Chains A and B, each alone.
Chain A
């Protein structure tokens, strides 16, 4: 192939990566920074003020703190996991961070989130969406871990982990949509519902699109 076309393809690939990862990393860090003040265990936050009846439940309170800690960690850990440089040059870091990610999602992250979905803001449809998200987050992480640790199927591992990260990233995308709709002047509950559904379904579709694209490339290499 012409070297100019190859260079152009590489440049395009690199710019897509930069355009995707820089906002994702920035917004993930912003989300984590916003979570830190909650660990003062004060209740002067609008989110908690709206949920004082729930906050009085000890289990909900514990689930909330564990979930936000686990969620912050997962979002940050996943950024390291998708670096191909770390995967090629420092496999040990990928393995250790991956094990911690799996542990945090499967044990405290998803179960606490799942419990909280029963009391989430919104109607039954929104709660159902949260439930789907928690279950799918758990299931995709579980499958991804099994694929790597037991079956040694690293392609399946990669695909399941993309799905898992897509679910973890809904915390970020939801806030982006929520802010956009807020500036569009949408009413709060309507904004909340639409932002939630778009973030969950949208992230799942983007993950499937990436997987489809990757598997297409993989099938091409097999066909040669």
Chain B
């Protein structure tokens, strides 16, 4: 009984310490979400800090691997229709919306992130000189415009 009480007390203390540490890390990173109670300035700052996390959370790999046809009528080498840019864009927007929905409480009553005219990090029109964006976004387009069938592994 003594051991059990000791273990449970230690578990409670550990939960508190870990919680405080975890929370303070978020506070220091500026990624702590204080639902609905933050002032506009801290809201914008947190949103700015959270954007890289949101972008990281979006699975880019499938889009990077999928070669895209540039026109709706395009077909691949085997004669099957490949996803068009519009389709991939639509899929991408869907994924992004899912992630941004996570911040609904945070941005409740305020303009949502995806409603703002901020530069869209997922836009296909990545800046030419921005190597980071170019590597993740424009790599979705095949360099030689070749169209392939999407394999199930992809």
Give me the interface of A with B, judged by CB distance under 8 Å: 49-53, 55-57, 59, 103, 106-107, 110-112, 114-119, 121-124, 135, 138, 142, 145-146, 149-150, 188-189
Q: A107-B7, A107-B11, A115-B15 are in contact. Are A121 and B105 (CB under 8 A)?
A: yes
Interface centre among A49, A118, A149, A188 (most CB of B within 10 A): A118
User: Does the CB pair B36–A189 fall under 8 Å?
Assistant: yes
A142 to B10, CA, bound (A): 13
State whether B35 touches A123 (Cβ < 8 A): yes
A123 touches B34 (CB 8 A): yes
Q: Provide the residues of chain B in CB contact with A138, threshold 8 Å.
A: 8, 12
Interface residues of B in 5-62 (CB under 8 A from A): 5, 7-9, 11-12, 14-16, 18-20, 22-23, 31, 33-37, 50, 53-54, 57
Q: Is B103 an interface residue (CB 8 A)?
A: yes
Interface size class of B (residues with CB under 8 A): 20 to 34
Q: Which residue of chain A is the closest to B22 with respect to CB atoms?
A: A118
Contacts A111-B8, A123-B37 known; list 17 others, CB within 8 Å.
Answer: A49-B101, A49-B102, A50-B104, A53-B57, A53-B102, A53-B103, A59-B18, A106-B12, A110-B12, A112-B15, A115-B15, A115-B18, A119-B22, A122-B36, A124-B34, A138-B12, A188-B36
A59 with B22: CB separation less than 8 A: yes
With a CB–CB cut-off of 8 A, which chain A residues contact B11?
Answer: 106-107, 111
Question: Any chain A CB within 8 A of the CB of B99?
Answer: yes
When C-beta atoms are compared, the residue in chain B nearest to A107 turns out to be B8
Q: Which 5 pairs show the lowest CB-CB distances between chains A and B?
A: A52-B102, A123-B37, A106-B8, A118-B19, A111-B15
| Chain B residue nearest to A188 in the complex (CB) | B108
Closest residue of chain A to B100, judged by CB?
A52
What CA separation (Å) do A135 and B15 show in the bound complex? 11
Given contacts A49-B102, A53-B103, A189-B35, contact A111 B12 (CB under 8 A): yes
Q: How far is the CA of A103 from the CA of B1 in the complex (A)?
A: 11
Q: Is the CB of B19 within 8 A of A53?
A: no
Beta-carbon nearest neighbor of B23 in chain A: A118
Q: Return A146 CB to nearest CB of chain B, in Å.
A: 8
Cβ contacts B126-152/A at 8 Å (1 or 0 each): 000000000000000000000000000
B85 to chain A, nearest CB (A): 27
Instruction: Collect the chain B residues with CB atoms within 8 Å of residue A146's CB.
Output: 5
Complex Cα distance A59/B53, Å?
18
CB of A68 to closest CB in B, whole Å: 16
Q: Are A53 and B34 in contact (CB under 8 A)?
A: no
Q: Are B12 and A114 closer than 8 Å at their CB atoms?
A: yes
Q: Known contacts A52-B101, A53-B50, A149-B1: does B35 contact A121 (CB below 8 Å)?
A: yes
Contact residues in B for A188 (Cβ distance below 8 Å): 36, 108
B8 cross-chain contacts in A, Cβ below 8 A = 106-107, 110-111, 138, 142
